[in-house]
Amino acid sequence: MRGKILRKLILGAALSCSAPLQAAAPMVSSIPQTRPNLTSAAPVVSSIPRVRPTATKLARERSIETTPNIDTAELILAMGQRPKTAARQCRNDALVGESIRRIPGELPGCGVKEPVRLTSVHGIQLSRAAIMDCRTADAFAIWIDKTVAPEFKKVRRQVEVIDVVASYDCRTRNNQPEAKISEHGKGRAVDVGSFVLDNGQRVSVFVDWNSDAFRNTVRALHKGACGPFSTVLGPEADRFHEDHIHMDTARRNSGSYCR
Lowest mean pLDDT: which of 85-89, 198-202, 216-220?
Answer: 85-89
φ and ψ at residue 239, rounded to 5 degrees = -70, -15
Lowest mean pLDDT: which of 77-91, 181-195, 200-214?
Answer: 77-91
Q: What element of type H or E holds 60?
A: helix 55-61
Mention every residue, 6+ apart, whose C-beta is less than 8 A from residue 101: 64, 71, 72, 115
Would you state the pLDDT for residue 20? Answer: 43
Mention every residue, 6+ apart, whose C-beta is less than 8 A from residue 167: 129, 130, 131, 132, 184, 187, 189, 190, 191
Has this prediction a pTM greater than 0.75? no
Lowest mean pLDDT: which of 55-64, 111-120, 220-229?
Answer: 55-64
Q: What is the pLDDT of residues 13-29, one digit of tens each?
A: 444 444 443 444 443 33
Alpha-carbon distances of 45 from 42, 49, 53, 54, rounded to whole Å: 9, 10, 21, 24
The Cα 194–Cα 160 span in angstroms is 11
